[in-house]
Amino acid sequence: MSQENQRAARSYNALPANLSPRGVCREAAASYIGISASKFDEMVRLGKMPSPKRIGRRKLWDIRAIDFAFEQLEDECKSDNNPWENAE
């Protein structure tokens, strides 16, 4: 575990068990939506996920912004290629 991840883990442990952090590191942001960090980076580059906030040298992603971006992603069943869309 990197030193930055160790520090982040300690700061998360300082929170009450029922309170999640508002800002999370890249790995936690990716894990939060169930994808790899490299896929998350790609989605950030494409504008499908938010850019990080910078606090000093740290980059943190706002969980609320991630939630909003995730809700904006198209559902699989709403795609243009749905063969059942016009079925009677």
Q: Has residue 86 been placed in a domain?
A: no
Among residues of the chain, what percentage have pLDDT more than 70? Answer: 74
The range of the structural domain enclosing residue 53 comes to 22-71
Indicate the residue type of 62. D
Q: How many domains does the structure of the chain reveal?
A: 1
Report the phi/psi class of residue 17: left, alpha or beta, with left for phi > 0 and alpha for psi in -120 to 50.
alpha
Q: What is the pLDDT of residue 88?
A: 60
Q: Has residue 31 been placed in a domain?
A: yes
Residues facing 58 on adjacent strands: 55
Rounded to an integer, what distance in angstroms lies between the CA atom of residue 1 and that of residue 23?
19
DSSP state of 76: G
Q: Is the pTM of this model over 0.75?
A: no
Q: For 33-68, what is each residue's pLDDT tens digit?
A: 999 999 999 999 999 999 999 999 999 999 999 999
Q: What is the pLDDT of residue 38?
A: 98
